[in-house]
A = this chain, B = another copy of it.
Amino acid sequence: MVIQSKQNRKIKQIRKLFSHKGRETEKCFVFEGKKLFEEALKSAVPLVGILVARRFMDTNRHQLDAISSEIPVEVVEDHIYDQLSRQKHPEGILCIAKYFDAQIDLKRSQHLLLLDELADPGNLGTIIRTADGVGFDGIICSDQTVDFYNDKVIRATMGSFFHIPIYKTDRFEAFIQKLKQNNFFVCATSLNGNLSQESPMPHHSKNALILGNESHGVRPQIEAICDFSWKLPIYGKAESLNVAVAAGIMMYLTVIGDKK
């Protein structure tokens, strides 16, 4: 049965999952594209449904048949898929997955990234991709950080969303104290911090890097409990760097200290 109407119950449910409120109600999220679908299959993320455009089914029947005993696959007319899609050039596959509990083992982790009220979905997605790229062990978000289940975030990670554990805590300060008790060196980034071209974090130590909001940076009460406040030197006329670029440079400098 190919879904013919945009009033179909499934279509309406998916439309709700594009909003934060809808996700919080259903404890489910959605993402699109073949690459993310394949990365999700390789991960432990619990897929609960797949919606494909008729054209996608026609060209990927074999792959979809192989999983359809475990995950319900529904087919929809192309034009209805394209209306629903948030992709610029809809590929024709959308996955529905359940919220999951990421585990970050503090005993085994060496490099953690903490995000304090980061607001932009594209920045968050790019930062997740970079944290995966440089081999960080996990990401922890404060509760006012943009929802990482937002489809724009997942898209910008280019699959890294399924590679690196990420979770949100409403006890961000307590979590930092716990890190310190577990021998992590905790470093805030700050435009008022100590200038250093290199990562101030001791090599081969356990450490956590905190980045903040695009406008306001890390909150003062968070910066106050950190071991160090770090500012990258700016040599030109820009007032600051984009937060995802700053995160990339700082994570990279931290990791190469250990790889030398």
Contact = CB atoms under 8 A, between A and B. Distances in A.
A241 B245 CA distance: 11
Nearest to A249: B252
A99 B164 CA distance: 45
Interface in A95-146: 122, 126, 129-136
A163 interface: yes
Copies in the complex: 2
B197 A256 contact: yes
Give the contact-size bracket for chain A: 35 or more
| Most chain B beta carbons < 10 A, residue from A159, A238, A241 | A238
A129 B238 contact: yes
20 contacts: A122-B122, A126-B244, A129-B242, A130-B238, A130-B241, A130-B242, A133-B241, A135-B235, A136-B236, A156-B242, A158-B240, A158-B242, A163-B236, A163-B237, A197-B259, A241-B248, A242-B244, A242-B248, A244-B244, A246-B248
A237 B162 CA distance: 10
A234 interface: yes
Nearest to A236: B135
Interface string A43-73: 0000000000000000000000000000000
